[in-house]
C-alpha cells in the first residue's frame, strides 16, 4: 500500500503516469469487490495468533531435551535447486492444492525441529554447480565445479588429475560399516548429485564412455555409469533414470524401441544391466524398468534392486504416466522397506533432481510441483521410520534466480498475476519471475503482455530480466532441515561440507567413532571425555 500511495500522491506531470495510477487503483478496486475474504475470519482475533504462538513455544521447549541417541538410519533428501524462495512457493502451492490459501500451510520439512543454513560456493565458484556441491554434502570436502568425488586438487576434464585426489562418500562409509545403502533420484542415476556418492570423475558429463574424449579413455579414466557398478559393487538399491548409458551403442530401448535418441550409448559394447543381473541372480537381486514391475515386488524377498525407469531423466511429475512411471514417493517407500531389513540400519540418498531442471527451463510450475512431490516423499519416509533412531536431513545443493513478489494478496494463486500493472509499460506481470533465463521475450519491441497468453500452463516460461537459453543457479545460502538423533548439531550457518560429518558422527561411521558407546538395548552417544572420566573414576575406586 505504501508503494501505491507513493504513486498516487506524487505530482503527475505525464499522461502515462495518470493512466498508470488509474489502472493501479482499478486493480485494487477490483480485488476489493470480488467478495472473497482475503484471510480467514478467525485471524482477526488476537487470541488466534497468541494461542498458535504459545502452542509453538511449548513445542520448542520440549526440544531442550536433545535426542542424543545413536542414529541407526540416515536419510538425506536433496532438493536440487530448492532454494528458500522455492521452499516458500512450494509451501503455498501445497496448501492451494489442498483448497487452502497456502501461506499458512506446513510442508513436511517445515515440521523438522532444527533448521540451519549452508554456504554453497564451490572451491572455484562463487555460484556453484551441482557436482561440486554434491561432493561437499556427500564426501565432506568442498571441490571444484563440474567434478564429483574428487578433491579441489583435481581439474575439470583433465583425466590425469584424478588419481590420488579421490574422496569417498558417506554412502561408502555406511556400506563399510555394514549398513544397507541406497540411491533414489528423479534424474539419471549417473547425474551430478547421485554420482558423487560412488564415482570419482573430473567431469560430471562423462555419463558413459561415448561422452568421454579418447585421451581420457586411453589414460584409464572410467565413465560414471561404469563406476556405479564397479566402485561399490553391492549398492543395495538404485532407482532412477539413465537406462541408455548402461547398454551397448544403438541397442534399442525396451520402452522406446523406435526412438534412436533413447538407444544405448556405450562404445565398449558392455551391457551393464545384464552384468549386474548375472551377478545378483543368486542374491535376491531384481532389475525393473516400469512401475508395475516395481510395485509387484515383495520387499521381504528383495535384497538388491536396480530400477531404471527412463533412458534419461524421469519425466516431470506433472507429465508422469501414472500407470507406467513410479513417483518419487513410491520409489522411496520401496527403497526404505528393502533397506530397513538390515539389522545394522541404512543410509539412503534421495534426490528431487528435476526441481533444478524446471527452474533452468524457466518452468516454475514444473519445478514447484517437483518440490511438492519431494515433500510428499519426505512425509512417507517419516511414516516408515522413527525419529528416535533415524536422522533425516533435507536441504538443497544450491538455489536459483527464482523469486515471487509484486505485493500479491493473501491466497493469490502462486502462478497468478501481481495485483497491479507495471508503472513503466502499463502491462500486467506474474508474481513469479526469474532474474535471467528463456522467459525473456520482446514482442513488437516491448515486453510481452502476459494477459494475452496462458501463464498458468504447465510449461509456461516465466518472464526473466536477462535473456539466456537456460536460467542460472543462485549463490545464496540454502536451508538445512534436520530431525532425529543429534539433529541439533545442524544449527547456525555452516559450510556445506559439514553435513556428512554430522551424519557420520551421529551414526558412528567414518571418522570420529571413538565417542560411541554400545549399551544393551538402545545404543547411545556420549562425548569422548565422559568415557575418559569414567575410566579415571573406576581407577581411583580400584586403587
Is 473 annotated to bind a ligand? Reply is: yes
Strands of 464-467's sheet in order across = 402-404, 432-437, 464-467
For residue 55, what is its C-alpha cell?
Answer: 502452542
494 known ligand binder: no
DSSP string, 223-262: -HHHHHHHTSTT-SEEEEE-GGGGSBTTPPPSS-TT-GGG
Q: Helices (DSSP H) in 40-150: which residue ranges?
A: 46-62, 84-97, 130-139
The answer to whether 80 is annotated as binding is yes
Query: Do 135 and 172 touch, CB atoms closer than 8 A?
Result: no
Does the annotation place 161 within a ligand binding site? no
Contact 396, 78 (CB under 8 A): yes
**130 a catalytic residue:** yes
Buried b (16+ CB within 10 A) or exposed e, 198-234: bbbbbbbebbbbbbbeeebbeeebbbbbbbbbebbee
397 is in an annotated binding site: yes
Output the nine-digit C-alpha cell for 499: 553435513
Per the annotation, does 236 bind a ligand? Answer: no
Contact status, residue 464 vs residue 433, Cβ threshold 8 Å: yes
Is residue 400 part of an annotated ligand binding site?
no
From the list 130, 169, 263, 399, the catalytic residue is 130
For residue 356, say whether it is annotated as part of any ligand binding site: yes
**Cβ-based burial of 84 (10 A; exposed 0-12, middle 13-18, buried ≥19):** middle
DSSP code of residue 507: H
Alpha-carbon distance values, 541 to 2, 287, 405, 533, 536 (Å): 74, 60, 68, 12, 9
**d(C-alpha 183, C-alpha 332), whole Å:** 9
Which position has the grid cell 503455498?
92
State CA 104 to chain mean position distance: 22
Q: Position of cell 538407444?
A: 263
Q: Is 105 annotated as a binding residue?
A: no
> Positive or negative, the Cα torsion across 453, 361, 123, 214?
negative
**H/E element holding 70?**
none
| Residue list for the binding site for Zn(2+) | 80, 356, 360, 397-398, 473
The binding site for Mg(2+) consists of: 80, 191, 193, 351
Name the residues annotated as catalytic.
Answer: 130
Q: Please enumerate, by residue number, every residue annotated as part of a binding site.
A: 80, 191, 193, 351, 356, 360, 397-398, 473
Amino acid at each position: 500500500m505504501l508503494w501505491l500511495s507513493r504513486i498516487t500522491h506524487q505530482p503527475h506531470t505525464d499522461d502515462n503516469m495518470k493512466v498508470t495510477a488509474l489502472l493501479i487503483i482499478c486493480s485494487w478496486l477490483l480485488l476489493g469487490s470480488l467478495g472473497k475474504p482475503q484471510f480467514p475470519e478467525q485471524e482477526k482475533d488476537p487470541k488466534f495468533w497468541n494461542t498458535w504462538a504459545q502452542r509453538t513455544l511449548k513445542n520448542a521447549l520440549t526440544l531442550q531435551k536433545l535426542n542424543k541417541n545413536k542414529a541407526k538410519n540416515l536419510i538425506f533428501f536433496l532438493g536440487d535447486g530448492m532454494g528458500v524462495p522455492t521452499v516458500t512457493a512450494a509451501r503455498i502451492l501445497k496448501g492451494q492444492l489442498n483448497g487452502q490459501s497456502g501461506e499458512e500451510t506446513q510442508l513436511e520439512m517445515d515440521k523438522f525441529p532444527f533448521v540451519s543454513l549452508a554456504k554453497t560456493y564451490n572451491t572455484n565458484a562463487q555460484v556453484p554447480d551441482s557436482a561440486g556441491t554434491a561432493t561437499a554434502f556427500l564426501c565432506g570436502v568442498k571441490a571444484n565445479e563440474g567434478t564429483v568425488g574428487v578433491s579441489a586438487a583435481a581439474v575439470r576434464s583433465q583425466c590425469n588429475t584424478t588419481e590420488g585426489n579421490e574422496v569417498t562418500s558417506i554412502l561408502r562409509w555406511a556400506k563399510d560399516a555394514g549398513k544397507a545403502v541406497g540411491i533414489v533420484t528423479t534424474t539419471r542415476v549417473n547425474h551430478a548429485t547421485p554420482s558423487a556418492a560412488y564415482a570419482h570423475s573430473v567431469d560430471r558429463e562423462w555419463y558413459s564412455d561415448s561422452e568421454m574424449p579418447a585421451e581420457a579413455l586411453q589414460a584409464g579414466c572410467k565413465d560414471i555409469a561404469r563406476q556405479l557398478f564397479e566402485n561399490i559393487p553391492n549398492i543395495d538399491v538404485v532407482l532412477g533414470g539413465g537406462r541408455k548409458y548402461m547398454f551397448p551403442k544403438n541397442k534399442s530401448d525396451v520402452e522406446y524401441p523406435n526412438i534412436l535418441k533413447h538407444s544405448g550409448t556405450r562404445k565398449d559394447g558392455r551391457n551393464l544391466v545384464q552384468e549386474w543381473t548375472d551377478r545378483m541372480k543368486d542374491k535376491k537381486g531384481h532389475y525393473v524398468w516400469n512401475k508395475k514391475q516395481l510395485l509387484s515386488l515383495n520387499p521381504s524377498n528383495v535384497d538388491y534392486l536396480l530400477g531404471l525407469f527412463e533412458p534419461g531423466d524421469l519425466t516431470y511429475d506433472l507429465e508422469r504416466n501414472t500407470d507406467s512411471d513410479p513417483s518419487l514417493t513410491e520409489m522411496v517407500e520401496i527403497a526404505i522397506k528393502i533397506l530397513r531389513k538390515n539389522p545394522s540400519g541404512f543410509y539412503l540418498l534421495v534426490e528431487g533432481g528435476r526441481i533444478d531442471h524446471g527452474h533452468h527451463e524457466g518452468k516454475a510450475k514444473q519445478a514447484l510441483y517437483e518440490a511438492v512431490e519431494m515433500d510428499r516423499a519426505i512425509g512417507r519416509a517419516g511414516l516408515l521410520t522413527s525419529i528416535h533412531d533415524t536422522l533425516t536431513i533435507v536441504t538443497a545443493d544450491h538455489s536459483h534466480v527464482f523469486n515471487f513478489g509484486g505485493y500479491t494478496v493473501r491466497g493469490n494463486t502462486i502462478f497468478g498475476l501481481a495485483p497491479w500493472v507495471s508503472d513503466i509499460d502499463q502491462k500486467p506481470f506474474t508474481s513469479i519471475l526469474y532474474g535471467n533465463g528463456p522467459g525473456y521475450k520482446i514482442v513488437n519491441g516491448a515486453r510481452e503482455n502476459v494477459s494475452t497468453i496462458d501463464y498458468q500452463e504447465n510449461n509456461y516460461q516465466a518472464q526473466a530480466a536477462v535473456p539466456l537459453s537456460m536460467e542460472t543457479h543462485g549463490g545464496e545460502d540454502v536451508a538445512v532441515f534436520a530431525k532425529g538423533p543429534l539433529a541439533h548439531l545442524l544449527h547456525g550457518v555452516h559450510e556445506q561440507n559439514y553435513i556428512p560429518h554430522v551424519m557420520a558422527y551421529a551414526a558412528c561411521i567414518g571418522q570420529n567413532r571413538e565417542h560411541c558407546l554400545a549399551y544393551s538395548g538402545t545404543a547411545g552417544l556420549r562425548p569422548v571425555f565422559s568415557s575418559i572420566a569414567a575410566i579415571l573414576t573406576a581407577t581411583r575406586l580400584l586403587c
